[in-house]
Chains A and B, each alone.
Chain A
Amino acid sequence: RKEVEQDPGPFNVPEGATVAFNCTYSNSASQSFFWYRQDCRKEPKLLMSVYSSGNEDGRFTAQLNRASQYISLLIRDSKLSDSATYLCVVNAGGTSYGKLTFGQGTILTVHP
């Protein structure tokens, strides 16, 4: 079983749609959680951190459920520019430093 699992998609949605991505992680000692965005042939860039209390940044909402070891990302009112790969990332515990473990990524395409 992979440490971080995501549905690879692809998700194809029209502009204005709401889309949700899910992610599960296996290491219960994991300490911090992120969503990264990666455009085609570009490097991953931090989209947002994920907290147990849930956090929102404009059209984006991230949730963490530690009991279920589950992370989600909700995108409301999708824009064409949201088309990208979304990577679920976990900073596992058990090391003296912040080693990141990435999911496979979920591909999103927003069409007119």
Chain B
Amino acid sequence: GAGVSQSPRYKVAKRGQDVALRCDPISGHVSLFWYQQALGQGPEFLTYFQNEAQLDKSGLPSDRFFAERPEGSVSTLKIQRTQQEDSAVYLCASSLRVREQNYGYTFGSGTRLTVV
């Protein structure tokens, strides 16, 4: 597709439930990021993939969060045993280059997760 696609658009999960969020980056984009955006805040870095390699997962808030990109294209962010503080918008971004100096990154529309 022309842009970064994320699904589902909205997800309501009961506390303790596992969820999986999907990101389809722009075809051929090497870099893929996951960000978490709480209400009223800027996006916070979660993890980074360069092709299929997860090079940085320093932003993942706990071991309940897991991300993968097995074939270097589609990525999945999994949250186990969801808690209310996980409620946020989860944004995926991709870029063609490894170091995007001038053109920024393309973000998907995000998945709005609400844990009840």
Contact = CB atoms under 8 A, between A and B. Distances in A.
Interface in A81-107: 87, 89, 91, 95-105
B109 interface: yes
B95 A98 contact: yes
Interface stretch (B12-20, B44-52, B61-69, B73-81): B44-52
A98 B43 contact: no
Contact of A44 (B40, B43, B45): B43
B42 interface: yes
Interface string A11-51: 00000000000000000000110101000001111100100
A90 B12 CA distance: 32
B43 A32 contact: no
B25 interface: no
A52 to B, nearest CB: 13
B62 to A, nearest CB: 20
- Interface magnitude class on chain B: 20 to 34
Nearest to A93: B99
B101 A104 contact: no
Given A87-B42, A98-B31, A103-B42, A32 B95 contact: no
A45 to B, nearest CB: 7
A24 B109 CA distance: 27
Query: 10 tightest CB-CB pairs across the interface, nearest first?
Result: A102-B42, A46-B104, A43-B107, A98-B100, A98-B99, A32-B101, A102-B43, A104-B42, A105-B42, A43-B109
Interface of A: 4, 8, 31-32, 34, 36, 42-46, 49, 87, 89, 91, 95-105
Given A49-B102, A98-B99, A104-B42, 8 more contacts: A8-B40, A31-B101, A43-B91, A45-B107, A89-B104, A96-B99, A97-B56, A102-B43
